[in-house]
Amino acid sequence: MGRGVGSKVVTAMDKPLQESGCTFCGSCLDVCPVNALVEADRSRKGREWEYDRVPSVCLLCGNACDIAVSTKDDMIVKINSYGEEGSAERYICAYGRFGFDCLLADTRLTSPMKKQDGKLVEISWEEAIDIASKELKKAGSNAGFVATGSITNEDAYAIKKFATDIVKTKNYDTTVSLYGDKETLLSASPNMDSVDMIVVVDLNPDQWKRVLPALDALVRKAANGGAKLVTINANETGLGSVADVELIGSETELLKSFIKAAIDKGVTAPPDLASAVSNAAVSEDIEKAATLFAAAKYPVIFTSPAMYTATVNVGLLKGSVVSVPVESNAKGVLLMGLTTEGKTYKEMVNGATSLLYVIGEIPVKSAPKVDFLIVQTTHLTDLAKQADLVLPAAAFLEDDGSIVDYLGNLKFICQAIEPPGSAKANTDILADLAKAMGAEIAEVSDDELDNLTKYEFKCKVSPFEKKAGFDVKVDEMIEMLNSSVLNGTRLFWLKNVEKAAV
């Protein structure tokens, strides 16, 4: 604002940040051409040319954004977005940019602990491995393993191999089962830079509330660039306010009417699909949306997992349908086969096994009634405080690995810093346990990883129904899965400031 020596950096209309519409994402730091905007805590942390930069991926939500991690003296100094210049996917939110100081939080785990006289006390890794291996042998097929959907492909592979080949149990599952499965999550891999129309079904991404914020930014950027936008939802959404057409009502009925109108405008459809929607009512708004769809060359439809099978019917006309998960590696976890053949996630966290082995920060605060609880995670969570044995794990910025993001891309996570104390990578902990139990876990091969992106997506006419059992509240689940990040960093300040402004 202003000119010459009187110019200054301000928010829109020079309002306080809380009133300016700012999402606190820090994207201004990435685009500022003269380095006038820098992180407030960068003072005395070195110059740009002194930093080592590592490309990686943020694992805090289902968008799995590309990031660049800058380090100095084995400390993370800052994180920036790392998508290709000009790409629709070049964006990270406040969580991904500023949440890394959770690695230094007071709740960070740095050594194994066991429950003794009602309290957790630190022990050596040798004792921890000995306790865990004996308890796992005792439980055998009645042991259960649960993990988050933000673990790496390598972690998922190791967990399944350890459970099936060494512990001899079929009870292994992840939080992914709370909102999707193979049928509802494994979808197409579109080229987002070629999209000329976007349809958003049963989703409410929001940069301000940091609910799948990168998806919100991607859709808005595409719309600003000329792509047409249609939203289909039971309620009003933030994206609806910028959409060319906002359709509100029963998502399944609206999809039927949308397809019916598109067919009437000459879009080719399978005969059985045309028959299924022949009696659908078409309103003026649906007519307008179908006109945009009929004219589009490359539409992409984003949908919730619960609505995916119904939304696939739109993809049978033209374009690609993408199911958007809550967690970063939901698709990779499913492709690695970490889906239960025995007890489900919900059954296990409610005490269906004699021993429960938890990996990662799951959305559970009260310990299930089991004979023995092992929690392997990065921070002393509410659940970890109630465990019989706690194993300190490396965070995703402290380990290598790979994931499959929501667009179906294989992405690689690179270790930026060393884990603190004696914390270890998930795969290393499982390898040590396997050795103590007289076996080894083979590592996932490069060919197996490459094959994750070669999954064949078979589209067929499906019933127009919302799949039951997958109706999680995305905002609440993301917050619970990242409780240690949000409450152990400067993001805790941000959360309180935003609440005060409401």
Residue 418: strand, helix, or coil: coil
200-256 pLDDT tens trace? 999 999 999 999 999 999 999 999 999 999 999 999 999 999 999 999 999 999 999
Confidence of residue 432 (pLDDT cuts 50, 70, 90): very high
pLDDT at 500 over 70: no
β-pairing, 389-392 vs 372-377, is parallel
- Give how far Cα 303 sits from Cα of 180, 240, 322, Å: 12, 14, 6
Radius of gyration (C-alpha) of the chain in whole angstroms: 24
Which residues lie below 8 Å from residue 225, measured CB to CB, with a gap of 6+? none
The pLDDT value given to residue 88: 65
The pLDDT of residue 317 is above 70: yes
Q: In what order do the strands lie in the sheet with 143-147?
A: 119-122, 113-116, 389-392, 372-377, 355-359, 143-147, 172-174
Q: What is the pLDDT of residue 499?
A: 67
91: helix, strand or coil: coil
Q: How confident is the model at residue 86 (pLDDT cuts 50, 70, 90)?
A: low
State yes or no: pLDDT of 469 exceeds 70.
yes
Residues 376, 394: Cα–Cα separation, whole Å: 10
Output the pLDDT for position 48. 84
pLDDT over 90, % of the chain: 79
**Residue labelled with tokens 């092992």:** 374
Q: Which of 6-10, 418-422, 447-451 has the lowest mean pLDDT?
A: 6-10
Tokens of 106: 């007071």
Chain-centroid distance of CA 320 in Å reads: 20
- Average pLDDT, rounded, for the chain: 92
pLDDT digits 0-9 by tens, 330-349: 999 999 999 999 999 999 99
SS (H, E, C) 426-472: HHHHHHHHHHHCCCCCCCCCHHHHHHHHHCCCCCCCCCCCCCCCCCC
Answer for the pair 293, 300: CB distance below 8 angstroms, yes or no.
no
Is the pLDDT at 502 greater than 60? The verdict is no
State how far the Cα of 392 lies from the Cα of 107, in Å rounded to an integer.
11
Model pLDDT for residues 47-79, shown as the tens digit of each residue = 888 999 999 999 999 999 999 999 999 999 999
User: Residues 133, 138, 141, 145: is their CA dihedral positive or negative?
Assistant: negative
Domains and CATH numbers, the chain: 113-179+329-396+419-454 (3.40.50.740), 182-324 (3.40.228.10)
pLDDT of residue 169 exceeding 80 = yes
pLDDT reported for residue 402: 96
Kindly indicate the confidence band of residue 32, based on its pLDDT and cuts at 50, 70 and 90.
Answer: confident
Angle between helical axes of 251-264 and 284-295 (0-180°, round to 10) = 60
DSSP 84: P
Give the 3-state DSSP-derived string for 259-298, with helices as H, strands as E and coil as C. HHHHHHCCCCCCHHHHHHCCCCCCCHHHHHHHHHHHHCCC
Q: Among the listed ranges 41-55, 272-286, 350-364, which one has the minimum average pLDDT value?
A: 41-55
